[in-house]
Amino acid sequence: MITLSVVVPIRDGERFIADALASLCRNARRDFEFIVVDDGSVDATGAIVDDFRADLPGLSVIRNPAPLGLADARNAGLAAATGRYVTFMDGDDWLAPGYLARLVEAVDGLGCDFVRADHVQVEGRKRVVHRAPLARRGAVLAAGDAILPAGVRTMVDYPYAWAGVYRRSLGDLLHFPGSLHTAEDRPWIWRLHREAATFAVVSLAGVFYRRQVPGSLTQVGDERQLHFFDAFELVFKDLEEEFLPKAVRNFCALLAHHLEIAGRFTPALRARFEERGAQLAGALPVELVAGAASGMSASREAALRALLPGLPAGPRHRRDREDA
């Protein structure tokens, strides 16, 4: 019987995939399986993965002839998974030795639907621990109770699928919207917290998450960035009224962040991005958008108001740490 399935999507990751797989070797157990989804790589990624077949028990490889995107690559791994639990790792990250065993021990002991964990953000030689935004640790809670309040960071502002472990019996709740090539984790985390029953947060920080990796979706300024709006259209679809203020604040903070770094877009793409942003923001309750803007930093508020001329002033309140 397989206890844990680890899904590792990768595309053209020859620089980092050996580090990722070496860290899995230091986490391997006979009841763990490791599913690498090579999403149409044209570099040496496939050959490097094959080199680990003898060293990583439980390794299997799915190869997509043409790239399908991160969401569908993860979905392909999920479809092949046989473990009682499932987790994810991006192919340019790595894990601390023994981290997966501790993660399984946590979810086994707590008995909830899923467990979220902290992570270590890596930029060059710099290491910073980022904590999941819930102070209460090691307690089983209702998943829906971790969405609010609207004015502070909550668990839906921490969408990283790889920062946790999930019962595979959650089924479709673990699947990502395959139409999205970026921001796929946003509707995913909202749906998980709205529809799953229970979860917990534990103080484990064993994922080392590389930031500022050239070629990653967070760094690329092409048309895939427009999927940000498709992602939030899915978040807003059929959303309970009580959660709307939170979702609007979440969207506005991320929109303002994207507007601040819009210099990575071509002029034509920037115009399309701003048009989509104005359309979606304009369809939301104006008082909620104004309230979200008034809680941002001055630079982000200015970026949002430049996109939405005529947006009324919102109530002034304490500027919390922003969601982006």
Contact between 12 and 90 (Cβ < 8 Å): no
pLDDT at position 220 is 54
E strand map for 28-109: 32-39, 59-64, 85-88, 94-95
Q: What is the pLDDT along the chain (324 residues), one digit of tens a residue?
A: 999 999 999 999 999 999 999 999 999 999 999 999 999 999 999 999 999 999 999 999 999 999 999 999 999 999 999 999 999 999 999 999 999 999 999 999 999 999 999 999 999 999 999 999 999 999 999 999 999 999 999 999 999 999 999 999 999 999 999 888 889 999 999 999 999 999 999 999 999 999 866 555 554 567 888 999 999 999 999 999 999 999 999 999 999 999 998 888 899 999 999 999 999 999 999 999 999 999 999 999 999 999 999 999 876 654 544 455
- Evaluate the CA torsion angle 56, 111, 146, 241 in order and state its sign: positive
Contact between 20 and 94 (Cβ < 8 Å): yes
pLDDT at position 161 is 98
d(CA 315, CA 313): 7
Q: What pTM value is reported for the model?
A: 0.92
Structure tokens at 206: 């064993």
d(CA 52, CA 81): 19
To 5 degrees, how large is the angle CA 86–CA 91–CA 96? 70
pLDDT at position 263 is 84
d(CA 60, CA 23): 16
pLDDT at position 287 is 96
pLDDT at position 81 is 98
User: How far is Cα of residue 177 from the mean position of the Cα atoms in its chain?
Assistant: 12
Residue-wise DSSP of 76-92: HHHHH--SSEEEE--TT
Phi, psi torsion values for 205, nearest 5 degrees: -130, 70
Nearest CA-CA partner of 16 in 44, 57, 56 = 44
Please state, as a whole number, how many other Cβ atoms lie within 10 Å of the Cβ of residue 82.
11
Which amino acid is it at 32?
F
Contact between 17 and 47 (Cβ < 8 Å): no
Nearest CA-CA partner of 7 in 64, 83, 66, 69 = 83
Strand partners, 33: 5
